[in-house]
């Protein structure tokens, strides 16, 4: 029997090469080896106010991008989180097994309260518990994520162990899968900050759907550092980030790239990097356009996904309800 892999993306902003390198690329590479579930987590998205029609179209767009990236609906279960009501039900139960002290420590919550100071809602606070429910509902073994989700996964494990200690083994304890290189791709104009798909300044990221001319312009504008050497160095955050992107997309180790670009200037390096990104994105974008013309196909996949995921989730939810004494 294959082990279970689960992951998801919140439908906010635009999918970026950060999401691709940190998570989605690994989904594609791992999907044959594991029994996979991939979600678009719309319930997470509403912790920040969303325009309903944009949320609807973004959910469809993200699913189409999953498919265009090579996620196979015949092999993997693809679904929208809100289509499986067990996520909300388990999240409530797990809220009762999570301490406020634990949630207060969550770095993402602290960052988001600064960014969205006019809307610090309770959903934003218990967001990591919903994420724990997403994972624990499917007896997940492995969760491929970027580095920014590491703390949420540790909390998921703590909640699962706590519950199992009280009620006997119910939950599988999940392991994170975080790449050694590329787990935190940085912003193009501010390489001290993470590349963020909801960034208001589009020039901070390359979106998977960016046109070639836009990719070229954004990479040309990306912050590099004083000096001329193309190498990874703590004092050269901009060029280190671009080298990491190059390495993850080309599969070439960083020392080899440093060797290859020895003596070349930043402009030449950036031109090659932009061309590489454009070549990787081209087939994805072509496939995406075809998929978006076939909404019926997407909706069939989502119906099947919700049914498959729902049946699995309900089995675990029932077990949890029985163990805690719901009649
Ligand atoms: P989200 O939507 O912010 O990001 C989706 C995935 O992309 C990774 N990522 C990055 N990786 C490298 N560099 C970056 N700059 C970068 N930015 C984002 C994220 O780590 C993530 O893997 N809470 C989650 C979604 C979620 C989830 C889950 C994930 C909800 N339930 C259950 C796994 C399992 C989130 O907001 O990711």
Plot region of 256 (φ>0 → left; ψ -120 to 50 → alpha; else → beta)? alpha
Q: Is residue 102 in some structural domain?
A: yes
Total domains present in the chain: 2
Is the domain of 147 the same as that of 267? no
User: In this structure, what token pair is assigned to residue 116?
Assistant: 């969205």
Query: Which domain covers residue 207, as residue numbers?
Result: 202-289
The residue nearest atom 31 of ligand 1, judged by CA position, is 131
Give the separation between CA 237 and CA 246, rounded to whole angstroms.
14
Ligand 1 centroid to residue 145 C-alpha, Å: 6
Please tell me the predicted confidence (pLDDT) of residue 133: 98
> Do 146 and 45 share a structural domain?
yes
Same domain, 164 and 228: no
Any domain includes 195: no
Say yes or no: 63 and 167 in one domain.
yes
Closest CA to 238 of 272, 193, 206: 193
Cα separation, 239 vs 242, whole angstroms: 5
How many whole angstroms from 146 Cα to the centroid of ligand 1? 6
3-state secondary structure of 63: helix
Shared domain check, 171 and 157: yes
The catalytically annotated residue of 28, 169, 194, 270 is 194
Same domain, 143 and 262: no
Note whether residue 190 is domain-resident: no
Residue 131 CA, ligand 1 centroid: distance in Å: 11
The reported pLDDT for the residue numbered 228 is 87
* 41 and 132 housed in the same domain: yes
Angle between the 86-95 and 122-136 helix axes, to the nearest 10 degrees?
Answer: 110
Phi-psi sector, 168: left (phi>0), alpha (psi -120 to 50), beta: left
Cα separation, 129 vs 134, whole angstroms: 9
Reported as a pLDDT band with limits 50, 70 and 90, residue 178 is very high
- Give Cβ neighbours of residue 253 (< 8 Å, ≥ 6 apart): 247
In the annotation, is 112 catalytic?
A: yes
What is the per-residue pLDDT across 46-94, written as a single tens digit (0 to 9) for each? 999 999 999 999 999 999 999 999 999 999 999 999 999 999 999 999 9
Task: With residue 276 as reference, give the H or E element that holds it.
Answer: helix 266-292
Closest to 26 (Cα-Cα) out of 135, 131, 182: 182
Enter the pTM of the model. Answer: 0.97
Q: Which residues line ligand 1 (CB under 6 A)?
A: 6-10, 18-19, 21-23, 41, 44, 131, 134-135, 143, 145-146, 148-149, 183-185, 194-195
Q: Tell me: do 162 and 16 sit in the same domain.
A: yes
234 is catalytic: no
Q: Per residue in 114-131, pLDDT tens? A: 988 899 999 999 999 999
Residue 50 lies in a domain: yes
Tokens linked to 89:
């039900």
In a domain, 132, yes or no: yes
- What CATH number corresponds to the domain at position 219? 1.10.240.10
DSSP code of residue 209: T
197 noted as active-site residue = yes
**Confidence check: pLDDT of 140 > 90:** yes
Q: Are residues 17 and 87 both part of a single domain?
A: yes
Pair (128, 240) in one structural domain: no
pLDDT of 271 over the 90 cut: yes
Write down the pLDDT at residue 227.
84
Could you tell me the two tokens for 59?
């959910």
Nearest CA to ligand 1 atom 26: 8
In the predicted model, is pLDDT for residue 98 greater than 90?
yes
CA of 198 to the centre of ligand 1 (A): 12
Residues 72 and 31 in one domain: yes
* CATH code of residue 40: 3.40.50.620
* Same domain membership, residue 30 and residue 55: yes
| pLDDT score recorded for residue 292 | 96
Q: How far apart are CA 284 and CA 206, in angstroms?
A: 14
């Amino acid at each position: 029997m294959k082990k279970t892999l689960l992951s998801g993306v919140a439908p906010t902003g635009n999918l970026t090469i950060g999401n691709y390198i940190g998570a989605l690329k690994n989904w594609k590479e791992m999907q044959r080896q594991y029994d996979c579930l991939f979600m678009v987590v719309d319930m997470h998205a509403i912790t920040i106010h969303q325009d309903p029609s944009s949320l609807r179209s973004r959910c469809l767009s993200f699913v189409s991008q999953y498919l265009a990236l090579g996620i196979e609906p015949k092999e993997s279960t693809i679904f929208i989180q809100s289509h499986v009501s067990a996520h909300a039900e388990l999240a409530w139960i797990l809220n009762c097994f999570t301490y406020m002290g634990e949630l207060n420590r969550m770095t993402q919550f602290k960052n988001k309260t600064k960014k969205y100071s006019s809307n610090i809602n309770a959903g934003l606070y218990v967001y990591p518990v919903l994420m724990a429910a997403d994972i624990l509902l499917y007896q997940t073994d492995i969760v491929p994520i970027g580095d920014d989700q590491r703390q949420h996964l540790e909390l998921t494990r703590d909640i699962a162990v706590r519950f199992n200690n009280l009620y006997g083994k119910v939950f599988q304890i999940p392991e994170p899968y975080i790449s050694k290189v590329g787990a935190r791709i940085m912003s193009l104009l501010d390489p001290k900050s993470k590349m963020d798909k909801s960034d208001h300044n589009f020039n901070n990221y390359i979106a998977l759907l960016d046109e070639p001319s836009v990719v070229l312009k954004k990479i040309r504008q990306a912050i590099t550092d004083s000096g001329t050497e193309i190498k990874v160095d703590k004092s050269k955050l901009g060029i280190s980030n671009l080298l990491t992107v190059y390495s993850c997309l080309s599969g070439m180790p960083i020392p080899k790239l440093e060797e290859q670009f020895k003596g070349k200037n930043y402009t030449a390096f950036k031109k090659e990097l932009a061309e590489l990104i454009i070549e990787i994105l081209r087939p994805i974008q072509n496939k995406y356009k075809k998929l978006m013309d076939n909404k019926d196909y997407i909706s069939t996949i989502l119906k099947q996904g919700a049914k498959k995921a729902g049946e699995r989730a309900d089995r675990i939810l029932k077990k949890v309800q029985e163990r805690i004494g719901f009649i």
